[in-house]
Amino acid sequence: MSDFPVYAFDAAIVREPAPSVVNGLRAEDRGDPSFDGILAEHAAYVQALRDAGVEVTVLPALADYPDAIFIEDPALVFTEGAVLLRPGAASRLGEAGEILPTLRDQFGQVFDLPQPGFAEGGDVLTTRDAVLIGMSARTDRAGAEGLVQTLAVLGRRARIVETPKGVLHFKTDCSLLDEESILMTHRLEGTGMFPGHRAVVVPAGEEAAANALRVNDVVFVGSDYPRTIEMLDNLGYKVVPLKTTEIGKIDAGLSCMSLRWKKPS
């Protein structure tokens, strides 16, 4: 494992949204998002990454893949290398091949997820002790076990956990606040998934705020969740509120819009 915090990043990859993003996958129909709204939210997100000290590579939009803006799902990246994943949604399978040339440019080693099975980055949470892989509708047992094997080659220890029923991705309900603390929903509290970590539970009614994103010294939180922001502020975190109203309509949050890593020194 690295000798710097797992939330220390100096590089990231994002992808511009295509107009087709308004047709993105969703588990619940909350109306189509505004394309202009998604563009604005994405631009603010990229600027926030840069303000936090991250060098951002922006890839062009992919009109044939409405969900390609959520670039964290088809790949995993670490200082040691990258893993090309296999999304569990059929409409997203081609996204992995689209990002592969960029991964090869950026990383000395890129591994493929072994066959068979599916795994998406939204189900993967990196903590100081282990990489947690949540099984879900998008990440199955074969994919999770294959990912454990691949991460071992990178020198990363991984552990498989059960994502609660009805949760799209593991990280829909949790995120890293610091090396000791996990922000989570009530349904994850008490599950025993996070031994050795402090549970910080989002207020009832603001469950979507659990998908926050720690980047260096700041924590990105959806600006639609004022009680979560106040709670984290009172706990001493430096919070950067970011609008997620439109991307939230297509089941997305803050972590899924970038691939983040610390370059080798």
pLDDT number for residue 168: 87
pLDDT number for residue 122: 96
Q: Note whether residue 89 is domain-resident.
A: yes
pLDDT bucket at 164, cuts 50 / 70 / 90: confident
| CATH at 35 | 3.75.10.10
Over the range 198-236, which residues count as b (16 or more CB within 10 Å of their CB) and which as e?
A: ebbbbeeebbbbbbbbbbbebbbbbbbbeebbebbeeee
Q: CA nearest 124: which of 77, 90, 164, 54?
A: 77
Residue 250 marked in a binding site: yes
Q: Which residues contact 184 (CB under 8 A, 6 or more apart)?
A: 173, 174, 175, 194, 199, 200, 201, 202, 210
Mean pLDDT score, 137-148:
97
> Is the Cβ–Cβ distance between 132 and 158 less than 8 Å?
yes
Q: Where are the beta strands (DSSP E) in the chain?
A: 11-15, 55-59, 75-78, 81-84, 110-112, 124-126, 131-135, 158-162, 174-178, 181-184, 198-201, 213-215, 218-222, 239-242, 259-261
Count of all residues that appear for the chain in the document: 265
pLDDT of residue 251 exceeding 70, the answer is yes
150: its two tokens: 């691949």
* Pairing outcome for strands 11-15 and 55-59: parallel
Q: Note whether residue 255 is domain-resident.
A: yes
DSSP sequence for 247-265: GGGGT--SGGG-EEE----
Q: Note whether residue 3 is domain-resident.
A: no
DSSP sequence for 100-112: HHHHHHH-S-EEE
Residue 73 marked in a binding site: yes
Q: Note whether residue 23 is domain-resident.
A: yes
* SS3 category, 223: coil
Q: Which residues contact 137 (CB under 8 A, 6 or more apart)?
A: 88, 168
Residue 147 marked in a binding site: no
54: its two tokens: 């991250």
Query: Which residue type occupies 165?
Result: K
The whole model's pTM is what? 0.96
Q: Note whether residue 140 is domain-resident.
A: yes
Query: What's the pLDDT tens digit per position in 22-66?
Result: 999 998 888 889 999 999 999 999 999 999 999 999 999 999 999
> Is the Cβ–Cβ distance between 228 and 247 less than 8 Å?
no
% of the chain residues with pLDDT over 90: 91
142: its two tokens: 């074969």
Residue 92 marked in a binding site: yes
pLDDT number for residue 265: 86
Q: Note whether residue 5 is domain-resident.
A: no
How far is 131 from 157, CA to CA, in rounded Å?
6
pLDDT of residue 2 exceeding 80, the answer is no
Q: Note whether residue 106 is domain-resident.
A: yes
**Number of helices and strands in the chain (H, E):** 4, 15
Q: Note whether residue 168 is domain-resident.
A: yes
Query: What's the pLDDT tens digit per position in 88-130?
Result: 999 999 999 999 999 999 999 999 999 999 999 999 999 999 9
Query: What's the pLDDT tens digit per position in 167-199?
Result: 889 999 999 999 999 999 999 998 999 999 999
Mean pLDDT score, 225-231:
98
What is the average pLDDT score of the chain? 96
How far is 1 from 163, CA to CA, in rounded Å?
25
Residue 32 marked in a binding site: no
How far is 44 from 50, CA to CA, in rounded Å?
10
Number of domains in the chain: 1
Mean pLDDT score, 222-246:
98
Q: Which domain holds residue 225?
A: 11-261
- Where in the sequence numbering do the catalytic residues fall? 169, 256
